[in-house]
Amino acid sequence: MAKRKVDHNGEFQIVSAPDYLPVPQLRTLQLQRLRRIVERAGSRVPFYRERFKELGIAAEDVQSLEDIQKLPFTQKTDLRDTYPFGLFASPMKEVVRLHASSGTTGKPIVVAYTDRDVRVWSSVMVRTFAACGLHAGDIIQNAYGYGLFTGGLGAHYGAEALGATVIPISGGNTDRQIAVMKDFGVTALCCTPSYFLHLAERAKALGVDLSELPLRAGIFGAEPWSDSMREHIESDTGIRAQDIYGLSEIIGPGVGSECLERGGLHIFEDHFYPEIIDPETGRVLPEGEEGELVLTTLSKEAMPMIRYRTRDVTMLLTEPCPCGRTLRRIKRVGRRSDDMFIIRGVNIFPSQVETALLQVEGTLPHYQIELTRREGLDQMAVSVEVTPEFFSDTVKGLEQLEQRLIKALEHVLGLRVEVKLVEPQTLKRSEGKARRVIDNREL
């Protein structure tokens, strides 16, 4: 499927044909696959059989891609309710891999792969790396966690299939990461953006200048990170920071990726069919309108997902991308509909706080939001680390910084919140996904 070509620099480039299919051909392929997956889910998974029966629909009713709207949604609670194996469409002897995700609350969910699913997964990760400008010959340090989390093994198989050298270091042990990066001439790093911030900061403390190493790209995902965060990372370390997207329920990483144009993330639509819905009404929204991303797996054997509600808020961008890929793009995912918290009647997303903080000079991109309730009233405090230069400044200087931050937050949130300036290195660093909000309100 993927061809290797040698470009004018004598370097390998991966050209993956499905990325460039003419749109009518892509739609035909999607419809064929959609009909097959609906048939598979309806005939093999009792959960889907019952849902389809309740709605009085059968696989034959899917005659066009628009007919997908007749199908029911699947939600995270459905995976929890059928825990562990209730949504499998393959017998256990055909399942070669299980992953699990605990999420932030409650019971874990389990996801399954057949041998063919693992190969599809590797192929979409090859396409992800290729879109991010990596190729055979790259030395990829994979600091996504190995284990039940899909990030580690997903990126690993893809990096090998790309023909790159993969260093399966997993997350954590930051000093060792830095030593390996230096000693092995690493050219690309895979991890969460928040872990990269931590690693870059530690490198500085150890006197290692990342911009002088061969490291040229970061393949970052698994959590939201703003454009301002990207600017900070790129100017601070001289690498190119690319955004990749995915979720366990659909496959893991490899659902979508930025290309070098970085005008949104291409969805690997020949395997994952995207829709945007109004999260309140469930109605499909026209292209270009913001809403919740819903994904249907078109080829997954072990665990097909029909119209899975991701809770990720984005929009579909349909203008052709200058890179030539015909795959539609989604806007970068800044927030989840269920990340939102409400303070004194105002809806707030952590990403808004990040944007406001990064506008003000003098702080580091390490912050945490704490919610409390005092005498029945919700309070929000944002702790943010101050740069070492500012921290040694006068008390007056710090007070002025605090006031600037309060104003910037008020401007973005429409609410005055408390700001706590803390010393560099005091907030807990993440090795995987960052935990931005601590909710201590007793409900």
Chain positions contacting ligand DLL, by CB under 6 A:
101, 144, 150-151, 221-224, 243-248, 252-253, 310, 312, 333, 336
Q: Which residues, other chains included, contact 215 with Cβ-Cβ below 8 Å and sequence gap of 6+?
A: 181, 186, 187, 188, 189, 237, 239
CB 300 within 8 A of CB 332: no
CB 163 within 8 A of CB 12: yes
Quote the least distance from Cβ 436 to ligand DLL, whole Å: 12
Q: Which is nearer to ligand DLL, 49 or 85 (CB)?
A: 85
Quote the least distance from Cβ 156 to ligand DLL, whole Å: 11
3-state secondary structure of 175: helix
Q: Which is nearer to ligand DLL, 243 or 270 (CB)?
A: 243
- What does the alpha-carbon distance between residue 82 and residue 97 come to, in Å, rounded to a whole number? 18
Quote the least distance from Cβ 86 to ligand DLL, whole Å: 18
Quote the least distance from Cβ 359 to ligand DLL, whole Å: 20
CB 250 within 8 A of CB 305: yes
Q: Which is nearer to ligand DLL, 26 or 222 (CB)?
A: 222
- What does the alpha-carbon distance between residue 318 and residue 97 come to, in Å, rounded to a whole number? 35
Quote the least distance from Cβ 136 to ligand DLL, whole Å: 21
Token pair for 66:
């628009």
Quote the least distance from Cβ 430 to ligand DLL, whole Å: 13
Q: Which is nearer to ligand DLL, 50 or 227 (CB)?
A: 227
Q: Which is nearer to ligand DLL, 81 or 423 (CB)?
A: 81
Q: Which is nearer to ligand DLL, 42 or 365 (CB)?
A: 365
Amino acid, single-letter form, for residue 158 = G
The residue with tokens 């490899």 is 254
Nearest of 411, 409, 429, 428 to residue 419 by alpha carbon = 409
Q: Which is nearer to ligand DLL, 202 or 336 (CB)?
A: 336
- What does the alpha-carbon distance between residue 308 and residue 329 come to, in Å, rounded to a whole number? 18
Quote the least distance from Cβ 249 to ligand DLL, whole Å: 7
- The burial class, CB within 10 Å (0-12 / 13-18 / 19+), for 116 is middle
| Angle in degrees, CA 225, 216, 128, rounded to 5 | 60
- The burial class, CB within 10 Å (0-12 / 13-18 / 19+), for 361 is exposed
Minimal CB distance residue for ligand DLL = 221
Q: Which is nearer to ligand DLL, 57 or 317 (CB)?
A: 317
Quote the least distance from Cβ 221 to ligand DLL, whole Å: 3
- What does the alpha-carbon distance between residue 2 and residue 17 come to, in Å, rounded to a whole number? 6
Token pair for 385:
């680390």
| Angle in degrees, CA 168, 169, 173, rounded to 5 | 175
Token pair for 417:
């919140």
Nearest of 325, 330, 245 to residue 17 by alpha carbon = 325
Quote the least distance from Cβ 28 to ligand DLL, whole Å: 29
Q: Which is nearer to ligand DLL, 327 or 386 (CB)?
A: 327
Q: Where is 38: in which H helix or E strand?
A: helix 23-44
